[in-house]
Amino acid sequence: MKKDHLKVALAQIAPIWLNREATIDKVVDYINDAAKQNVDLMAFGEAIVPGYPFWIEPTGGARFNAPDQKELHALYMDQAVQIEAGHLDKVCAAAKKGNVALYLGIIERAQDRGGHSLYCTMAYINKLGEICSTHRKLMPTYEERLTWSVGDGHGLRVHELGAFSVGGLNCWENWMPLPRAALYGLGEDLHVAIWPGSKRNTDDITRHMAKEGRSYVISVSGLMRPSDFPADTPHFNKIIKGIEGKEFLADGGSCLSAPDGQWVIEPQVGEEGLYVATIDHEKVRQERQNFDPVGHYSRPDVTKLTVDRRRQSTVEFID
């Protein structure tokens, strides 16, 4: 493969919902498939391990002190990822064995915030199987705030991969101009946006970000159908009744745009799959000729962004 080329894969899958280990096994299977195709970088959807909190809306999740919400949240917490406990070890081993870097959307039970709050986190694992960054979603969207906590700027980072500098954001963070600008300022030219799954989300913004950043943009979504809810889920009947008539709660929409806004992979809807393409860094350099948002087409003497990347904590111990 030419030095400017990178082979990327979009893993559009449904989780084994609220089952961390089974979902991780499925993720590993997809990593192994990508490795067989000599993929350099792959990505999975937002919160794919152990799944998106699809129960909140159909069960009236805003009812204060509701026993059903407490029970479901407790299960969610139990099945969330504790990186310090080694929950991603299988994923890291598969990445190393397959020589594949990846972005993985997880629900993180963060020990550095007491161990009992949940964060929507985007983990970057390099080809050596090392977890290089964990970006906690800055602002959970709408009903997500009933189960996820507010993140911080610690994970606003890019990683060198071949000719590219790759970074990423979770879901509606991609609508936030300043976090995007922070990644542009770090030299990002391959952006990974992860979503719970919806073509209506990915169809427009993927190409918009590509044109704005003059970067390749990968949007990777999950999939969720009524049949994907395990029958032993607490309050299963209430959830199913609340989604009656829906074919999908998340229909995918994974796609890949070139820096000029042209589709490399059009939005993929309704099917699980591994979608693979080769991208060329020369295209980035061509498009930066007339626009570079943090380079020759910027005015830092007029407007400038300050980013706090400290990991936020309630306490600081001085021993």
Residues with a known catalytic role:
46, 137, 171
CB 277 within 8 A of CB 298: no
CB 29 within 8 A of CB 44: no
Q: Which helix (H) or strand (E) holds 280?
A: strand 273-280
CA distance 105 to 99: 19
280: amino acid identity, one letter: D
* Residue 26 DSSP class: H
